[in-house]
């Protein structure tokens, strides 16, 4: 099987996620974009695992999923808290920690 379409898809998804993180202000959307990047990399991992005929990439993908799940728990909790106190989910509003 050819890996090329999968890798191109993965790169596309990663780029979309990346641009989303950079340009969107809503914290939830930024968060979804981060997930998108993670899953893009998962796709690449699984593709290479299939191409190489071993399970290394698949195991790594599982790790990424587990870490992403944990991250979602913590990240959403933070976003919730910020929204409660500031009545806004914009990442640009939470800019107190600076020089």
Partner 1 sequence: MLSGLAAESHIPVVDPAAADGVFSLAWLVIVLPLAGAAILLLGGRRTDRWGHLLGTATSLGSFAIGLAMFIALLGRDSGDRSVGRELFTWIEAGGFKVGMDLLVDPLSILFVLLITGVGSLIHIYSIGYMEHDGRRRRFFGYLNLFIAAMTMLVLAADYLGIFLGWEGVGLASYLLIGFWQHKPTAAAAAKKAFVINRVGDIGMSLAIMLIFVTFGTTAFAGVSAAASGADEATMNVIGLLLLLGACGKSAQVPLQAWLLDAMEGPTPVSALIHAATMVTAGVYLVTRSNFIFENAPIAQTTVVVVAVVTLLWGAVIGCAKDDIKKVLAGSTMSQIGYMMLGAGLGVAGYAFAIFHLITHGFFKANMFLGAGSVMHAMDDDVDMRHYGALQKAVPVTFLTFAMGYLAIIGFPGFSGFWSKDKIIEVAFTENIFVGLCALVGAGVTAFYMTRLMLMTFFTQKRWEPEVHPHESPKVMTVPLMVLAALSVLGGFLLLSNWIVDWLAPVVGHHAHEEPPLPALAMTAIVVLVVAAGVALAWFTIGRTEVPRTAPTDVNVLTRAARADLYGDAINDGLVVNPGRQLVGGLMTFDAAVIDGAVEGQAAGMGGLAGVFRKVQNGFVRSYALSVLVGALLVILALLAVNLG
Q: Which residues bind partner 1 (CB under 8 A)?
A: 18, 21-23, 25, 30, 91-92, 94-99
Cβ of residue 83: shortest distance to partner 1, in angstroms?
15
The nearer residue to partner 1, 21 or 68, going by C-beta atoms, is: 21
Q: Which is nearer to partner 1, 9 or 21 (CB)?
A: 21
In 10 A of CB 85, how many CB atoms? Answer: 9
Which residue, 50 or 75, is less far from partner 1 as judged by CB? 75
Comparison of 32 and 50: residue with beta carbon closer to partner 1: 32
Query: Shortest distance, CB of residue 55 to partner 1, whole angstroms?
Result: 26
- Neighbour tally for 40: CB within 10 Å: 20
Closest contact distance (angstroms) between CB of 74 and partner 1 is: 15
């Amino acid at each position: 099987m050819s890996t090329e379409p999968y890798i191109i898809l993965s790169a596309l998804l990663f780029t979309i996620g990346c641009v989303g993180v950079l340009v969107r202000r809503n914290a939830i959307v930024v968060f979804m974009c981060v997930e998108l990047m993670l899953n893009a990399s998962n796709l690449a991992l699984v593709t290479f695992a299939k191409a190489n005929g071993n399970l290394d990439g698949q195991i790594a993908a599982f790790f990424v999923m587990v870490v992403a799940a944990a991250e979602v728990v913590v990240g959403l909790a933070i976003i919730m808290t910020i929204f409660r106190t500031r009545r806004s989910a914009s990442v640009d509003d939470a800019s107190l920690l600076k020089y």
